[in-house]
Amino acid sequence: MAGRKSKVLLVEDNTSLLLGLMVSMKGKGIEVVSAVTKEEAVKAFAENKDITLVITDISYPEKQGVEQSHESGLSFIRHVKDMRPELKVIAQSSSKEYLEMAAQAGADGEVKKIDLMGWINSKG
């Protein structure tokens, strides 16, 4: 996509990991929109029509103050695919079981959380 700047929606409730990933992506010239809950992710997705990739954790809270659940990430993946089926969604988790569920929910790729930074650094 020459001439088109990458814009990634990054959904991650671990703030240390989120900040590290954001710094790495911004260092590669990638614009990053972030969210830590499903509620924030849905809002960011709706407000940023020019997102070129979604990278989402699987287990995070529906909204602030609510316990995390893997259903948040899975339902967000389905939401993205319902709204923009062509948009690539990469799921990330420490759990192989959750990654398999993400593939069934429509994720285009899955990355183990421990490998995510290396995966991002290998892109570009």
Q: Are 10 and 33 in contact (CB under 8 A)?
A: yes
Tokens of 91: 């799921």
Long-range contacts of range 83-87, CB-CB < 8 Å, 24 or more positions apart?
83/45, 87/51, 87/52, 87/53, 87/54
102: CB partners within 8 A, 6+ apart: 58, 73, 74, 77, 91, 93, 110
Question: Is residue 1 over pLDDT 70?
Answer: no
User: Regarding the domain delimited by 7-116, which CATH topology (the fold level of the hierarchy) does it fall under?
Assistant: Rossmann fold (3.40.50)
Nearest to 97 by CA among 58, 67, 66: 58
The 3-state DSSP composition of the chain as helix, strand, coil percent (nearest 5) reads 45, 25, 30
> pLDDT per residue over 44-74, tens digit each?
999 999 999 999 999 876 776 666 677 888 9
Question: Average pLDDT of 87-107?
Answer: 93
Average pLDDT over all residues of the chain: 87
| pTM (2 d.p.) | 0.87
pLDDT interval class at 2 (50, 70, 90): very low
